[in-house]
Chains A and B, each alone.
Chain A
Amino acid sequence: EDKVVQSPLSLVVHEGDTVTLNCSYEVTNFRSLLWYKQEKKAPTFLFMLTSSGIEKKSGRLSSILDKKELFSILNITATQTGDSAVYLCAVGKLQGTGGFKTIFGAGTRLFVKA
């Protein structure tokens, strides 16, 4: 059975800290791994990763994928209170029927203290 596991489930840090969020997966017919940030209600897209070893960066956030070890990490440096959110990891896959689907992890809830 396909699964996406995120760790830790929750995390509390102080402003300025660096955090690493983990996402491991066991998914057949892997196509892509995506990270979303869910503040309040609507998840918003952060990164899409399809190749191993290529770091994606956006400001203080960065992410990398290891397709051999089947995991990805999301790093946030110099955290700010505005980084407080639930971070979702998702994997896109090809289904046996020819369709495609996205499988989500349960998320990591990050709280940044001022």
Chain B
Amino acid sequence: DGGITQSPKYLFRKEGQNVTLSCEQNLNHDAMYWYRQDPGQGLRLIYYSQIVNDFQKGDIAEGYSVSREKKESFPLTVTSAQKNPTAFYLCASTPDRPTGFEKLFFGSGTQLSVL
């Protein structure tokens, strides 16, 4: 079955540590996205990528980094510069570049907590 796989489901970060969240899709989608979900708030866009080897900052990119070396993969690194990383992280994809009409396909998320 086609879909988006995020791993791990749960992740703990120590102070000063960088951690990487994995996102893999086999939908052959061009565009991929990372969102952060906090209780009582809407999903907020961290980064997105429309094609391989290209990505753009979203609304809350500070303290995060991404890469898009393969069409199927869009890993997110939460760096030590992100002072409040505890949140639920969702990866999503769309078949084409964003147009404002896109239906997002989501993975099952990673819950990141700080030790």
Residues of chain A touching chain B, judged by Cβ–Cβ distance below 8 Å, are 4, 9, 29, 31-32, 34, 36, 40-45, 48, 50, 88, 90, 92-94, 99-107
Contacts and interface: CB of A to CB of B under 8 A. Distances in A.
Contacts of B105: 45
Contacts of B106: 36, 42-44
Contacts of B42: 4, 88, 90, 103-107
Contacts, number: 66
Interface of B: 35, 40-45, 56, 58, 88, 90, 98-109
Given A31-B101, A48-B103, A94-B100, A104 B43 contact: yes
Main secondary structure of the interface of B (DSSP, over half): loop
Given A90-B43, A102-B104, 18 more contacts: A9-B40, A31-B99, A34-B103, A36-B104, A40-B108, A41-B88, A42-B90, A42-B108, A43-B106, A45-B103, A48-B103, A88-B43, A99-B98, A100-B98, A100-B102, A101-B98, A104-B44, A106-B40
Contacts of B98: 99-102
Given A4-B42, A88-B43, A103-B42, A43 B102 contact: no
A1 to B, nearest CB: 11
A42 B106 CA distance: 6
